[in-house]
Amino acid sequence: MKLIMLGAPGAGKGTQAKLIADKYQIPHISTGDIFRANIKDGTELGMKAKSYMDAGGLVPDELVIDLVVDRLTWEDAKNGYVLDGFPRTIPQAEALTKALAEKGEKIDAAIDIDVPDENIINRMGGRRACVACGATYHIVNIPPKVEGKCDKCGADLILRDDDKPETVKNRLEVYHEQTQPLIDYYKAEGVLKEVDGTVDMNDVFNAIVQILGA
């Protein structure tokens, strides 16, 4: 089962990807994890990626694709995987389709978790992160026991810059411009599956399981 998660920042695709990975016993693969693993292991691809990241630049498409395609050859991915955060652009999607086709493989489903921008801005504005241990909360959905304090270590909770409304709006603009076209791409490929991401996360997961038919 080869899956791709689509959805705007804050739509919950990372959470759903982890749940899918656990249920179907396939790896949850994110580009961030791939970068970190390759850099930690000192691989040639990892060192190339690090040079761009250290300079504050974006890792070029060609290198991202090489890293992802390499990750898909690992033993744990032989029965499938769920890709989270890749592809982000049409060129990345086309390169992935081509790389899989060369091995006689293809993506089984691209799952789009659909959440309106307004919901995402409200949702992310409610997030709080611990300054000490990094634990995350939500003032409505997962509130801490003591307001403004981490349950785990008692340190202060903050609204990260990434979650501030003006930052979220900018991230959504980038998403609509670069990543939204992927929805049309995978629709044309006949593998797009859409779920309502505004409902409870367990209901979202149940809808995905129904789509996957297992």
The span from the CA of 153 to the CA of 84, in Å, is 30
Catalytic residues, by residue number, are 13, 88, 127, 160, 171
Pairing of strands 81-84, 109-114: unpaired
Q: Find where tokens 């761009």 sit.
A: 52
For 171-190, give the secondary structure using H, E and C: HHHHHHHHHCHHHHHHHHCC
The DSSP code for 149 is: B
Q: Find where tokens 């990975």 sit.
A: 21
Helix or strand run (H / E) with residue 31: helix 31-41
